[in-house]
Structures are given as structure tokens and as C-alpha cells.
Amino acid sequence: MLGLGADLLWADMNRLLAFLFHQGVLDEQFLQLQQLQDETSPNFVSEVVNIYFHESEKLLRNLRALLMEKEFSDYKKMGIHLNQFMGSSSSIGAKRVRNVCVAFRAATEQNNRAGCLRALEMLEHEYCYLKNKLHELFQIEQQRALAAGVRYPVQN
Amino acid sequence: MAHQNLGTKLTALVVDDNKINRKIHQKLLESVGMKNQGVENGQEAVDIHCHGQRFDLILMDMDMPIMNGIEATKELRSMGIGSMIVGVSSRCTEAEIRKFMEAGLNDYHEKPLNNSKLSSLLDKINPSFTRN
């Protein structure tokens, strides 16, 4: 019974992953991360992704703070934050977040404040969607690990 | 020249200010059996060599605070470091890549590295190069 539970969870996990790939939210770099996970670092993917979450939220706060400044002018600084965000997003395979960063950086290069505001809102939305889906994925992974580990004692 | 021990692990240094990239590249190197260390900028890469450490492979980011990859590569070459130095970056223009190569790189790859890119690099490494 619980063996079936682990199998069903595995199917759920793969269905969610396939969905995220199909939507273009994730790309093959995320698969590279999964392939690096092994017995010596069984939580490698979630460790890397949690660092990504921490750094991304700092960058988003910085970007929003810069845009909200009364005498806003630091497009160059925004560009620096966006380059970091792009680099990190590429590294974990967060393709759609990275694409929004590219559009945002184009707006900074054009000194287009209204465009930057729209891009920031889109980036925050895209990032939140990614975060929710990855949390969902990791939860299924944890449930599956628990289900696979449970054994009923043999009864005569 | 000392007799080459075939069981000796190759060594690598990852130079990158981005924690995520360092973690991924270090894990990738570990997965192919390489001992490795990570540092956060070009100055730290130079310092670790001043203390006498040597590596078979150095993965060098370009944009880093304090000392960038181009400056660090020039400095290492002027110190006589003969390791394979590979530039890795996610947003270089052709002119920047040329400048980076001219600083003394052996090769350049777009970030993030993956297994197949790393394999092609390892094929080129002469592990005894830094041990003459």
C-alpha cells in the first residue's frame, strides 16, 4: 500500500516537472542540477534553490527600493542587480525569470522608468510563481522519501 | 620530473563571486572526481597562489568585485602560473571575450558549465603540467 504511495508521488513529481518544462518555466539546466544530486549530497537541488530564493529576494527588494526613490536615476545600479539575477536564474534553470530580467534590463538601458516599473511587477509575479511551484515539487519529494522509507513489520 | 601517480586526483579552483555558481561548479567538479576549492574574487585567487597552492584547472568568472577575472588572469600568468585557466561568464560580448582570452586564458565557456563542457576541458588537461 505505502509502496504504491511512493510510486504515485513519483508520478506526481514527474507530472509537475513535465508541466514546468512545457510551460518554459524551467529548462535543461534544472535537469543538470538534479543529475548532480547523489548519496553524498541528497539535498543538493533544494540547497542550491534555497540559496537562489534568498539572493533573489534581496535583489528584488533592492530593485524595488531603487525604483521607489524620489529622485530616481540609478539605472546602472539596477543593471548590476539584474545581471546578478540573470546569472543566478540561468544557473538553476529558471528560464522564464531570466527572460523577464532580460526585458527589464532593456528598459534600464533605455532609461525608461515606466517600463522598469512594469518589468519589476512582471518579475515579482514570475518569481513568486516559480517559488510556489518549486516548493510544491520539494514537498512531493519529501513525502515520497517518507513513503519509500516506511515498512510494515512482517506479521505471522 | 617526479613519477606521475595515476591515482592522484586532479585539482581545480573555482573563482566566482556568485555563491550559487560556485556551489554548482564545485559539485560538478566533485562529480568527475576532482578535488576543488572555491574563492569569491580574483584577489583571493591570486592570494591562494601566493601562499603556494597550485591547481590543474582554474574556472575564472569575469565580473567580480575587488579584482575581476581579466586582472586576476593577467596577474596569475605574470606569476608564472601555468594551470589551465578557463574563463566562464554569462554575458560577455565578443570584444570582452577577446580581451579575456588575451589576458592569458586557455579557453572560454559560457556559464553555467555542464558535464559535456567540463569533459571537453578535462580532455585537454595535462595533469603534470604544474608539477615539473
- Asked if residue A1 is part of any domain, the answer here is no
CA angle B37, B42, B48 (to 5 degrees): 50
Q: How far apart are CA A121 and CA A127, in angstroms?
A: 10
- Asked if residue A119 is part of any domain, the answer here is yes
Q: Which CATH number goes with the domain that contains A73?
A: 1.20.120.160
Question: Could you give the number of structural domains in chain A?
Answer: 1
Query: What are the tens digits of pLDDT across the range A35-87?
Result: 888 888 888 999 999 999 999 999 999 999 998 887 766 888 898 899 889 98
- Asked if residue A19 is part of any domain, the answer here is no
- Asked if residue A109 is part of any domain, the answer here is yes
Which residue bears the cell 574574487? B41
Q: How far apart are CA A80 and CA A74, in angstroms?
A: 10
- Domain with A82, as residue range(s), is 43-137
Q: Do the strands B107-110 and B57-61 form a parallel or antiparallel pair, or are they unpaired?
A: unpaired
Residues in chain A closer than 8 A to B30 (CB atoms) = 40
pLDDT value at residue B63: 87
List the pLDDT tens digit at each of the 132 positions of chain B. Answer: 444 444 568 899 999 999 999 999 999 999 888 999 999 999 999 999 999 999 999 999 998 889 999 999 999 999 999 999 999 987 668 888 999 999 999 999 988 788 888 888 888 885 544 443
The reply to whether residue A91 touches residue B21, judged by beta carbons under 8 angstroms, is: yes
The closest CB to that of A51, out of B19, B90, B112, belongs to B19
- Asked if residue A29 is part of any domain, the answer here is no
| B1 touches A: beta carbon within 8 Å | no
| B28 touches A: beta carbon within 8 Å | yes
Q: How far apart are CA B77 and CA B67, in angstroms?
A: 15
pLDDT value at residue A26: 95
CATH architecture of B9-123: 3-Layer(aba) Sandwich (3.40)
| A39 touches B: beta carbon within 8 Å | no
Query: What are the tens digits of pLDDT across the range A114-153?
Result: 899 999 999 999 999 999 999 999 998 888 877 777 666 6
The reply to whether residue B20 touches residue A51, judged by beta carbons under 8 angstroms, is: yes
- Asked if residue A8 is part of any domain, the answer here is no
Residue A144 contacts residue A10 (beta carbons within 8 Å) = yes
pLDDT band at A24 (very low <50, low <70, confident <90, very high): very high
A69 phi/psi in degrees, rounded to 5: -60, 140
The closest CB to that of B20, out of A32, A38, A91, belongs to A91
pLDDT value at residue A22: 95
Q: CA of B48 to nearest chain A CA: how many angstroms apart?
A: 25
Q: Which residues have CB under 8 Å from A138's CB, separation 6+? A: A46, A49
- Asked if residue A143 is part of any domain, the answer here is no
